[in-house]
Structure 1
Amino acid sequence: MSKNKKIISKKQKMVDFEKEVMSKVTSGQITMKPKWYFVLGSVFSIGGLAALSVASVFLVNIIMFSLRKHGPMGQWRLEAMLESFPLWIPILAILGISLGVWLLKKYDFSYKKNFLVITAGFIASIIIAGFVIDQLGLNDVWSRRGMMRKFYQGIENQGNDIPNGPRKGNTPNGRSKK
């Protein structure tokens, strides 16, 4: 078969497909969705991606804050930190990033580009944003005032029950043992 016949054959198949679909629409076998349906779906997808991204950045930020607040990493300190570290935070962060990647895969631009690069860039940007928020000191501000104060103070105080630890507050009266 020549090249021209292949092109004509493909065009003919496309025309036949279009006629078949249009005949099903006019006969009522297929119902068309209104434009607002797709617009609303796009708005919710973009909003969901933004919310998942912000939540993932926040959770990565909390992980870095918690690791920084647990102090020097002696062997006993590391073991105590791992015992008291809230494991739900990294699990939720990974889940949020995974859902964000899944939503990214739904957009048409992700099919035109290398999806592995898009995914790596998305994950890297979330980790970098969490690190930047931690380095800017926003965690310290949020832990002292605002609606998140109790949440951050709960994370800060999780490792204070270590006997003979370097912080004040390890004994009932708040004094260090000598």
Structure 2
Amino acid sequence: MSNKNEINLENKIMGRVISGEVKMKPRLYFILGSIMSFVGLVGLITGSVFFTNLTLFLIRKQGPGTGRLLLMLDSFPLWVPFLAVLLVILGSMVLKKYDFSYKRNFPVLVLTLLIAVLLSAKIIDSLGLNEIWSRRGPMKRFYTSDQQEVLGKQGPRYNRY
């Protein structure tokens, strides 16, 4: 019975499309939305894992404190998470009318993403990649900035720390 209803619904929808009553969106909308969502999500996950990993490393190495937070914020490219969030939002807006995007349980996706980010950061920290990155390569600048230099850039308000 449900197969007959599906065929009937399909015929009704195709009849409206053929008559011009309903217009189909071009495939380009779906492709652009998918690309924006994917790039944004990859950027957001990568940035989150790196920032969480860097936080764990700095707390373990130097202890918690305001100066460490300022050091971290000064060395981290803040435009990356903003761009990633913007791309995820734009991609979601474009894709929200498509089949797969409204059938997902959003809180479960967010919780899964959060657990994956925290677990990835902990694994990177446990494997000792922080130690390698802090001594060489392009990542070195994120791990070895001079704290006084950072505090001096922030102005007199932060020098008391």
Interval containing the TM-score (normalised by the shorter chain): 0.5 to 0.7
Provide the rounded CA distance (Å) in 2 between the counterparts of 1:108 and 1:13: 16
Which residue matches 1:63?
A: 55
Larger relative contact order (Cα-Cα within 8 Å, sequence gap ≥ 6): 2
In structure 1, the residue matched to 2:19 is 23
Q: Is the 8 A contact 2:38 2:88 kept in 1?
A: no
1:53 aligns with 2:42: no
- Which letter does structure 2 place at the counterpart of 1:50? V
2:147 to 154, 158, 162: 158
**Aligned amino acid, residue 69 of structure 2:** F
Moved more, 119-128 or 94-103: 94-103
CA offsets, 1:8-41, max 9 Å, x none?
9xx989866654443337xxx95x5543553343
Q: Provide closer, same or farther for how the CA distance between residues 128 and 67 of structure 1 changes in structure 2, counting only shifts above 3 A.
A: same
Residue identity (%):
36
In the aligned structure 2, how far is the partner of 1:97 from the partner of 1:39? 18
Find the counterpart in structure 1 of residue 126 from structure 2. Answer: 135
Return 5+ residue gaps in structure 2 as ranges: 149-161
The TM-score with structure 1 as length reference comes to 0.55
Partner of 1:174: none
What residue in structure 2 maps to residue 74 of structure 1? Answer: none
The answer for unaligned runs of 5 or more in structure 1 is 1-7, 72-77, 160-178
Q: Which digits, 9 at most, give the CA deviation of each residue in 1:74-93, with x for residues without a partner?
A: xxxx5xx224423736x889
Distance 1:45 1:153, change over 3 A: same
Larger Rg: 1
How many residue pairs get aligned? The number is 140
2 CA distance for matches of 1:110 and 1:23? 28
Q: Given the alignment of the two structures, is residue 125 of structure 1 paired with residue 116 of structure 2, yes or no?
A: yes
Structure 2 counterpart of 1:158, one-letter code: Q
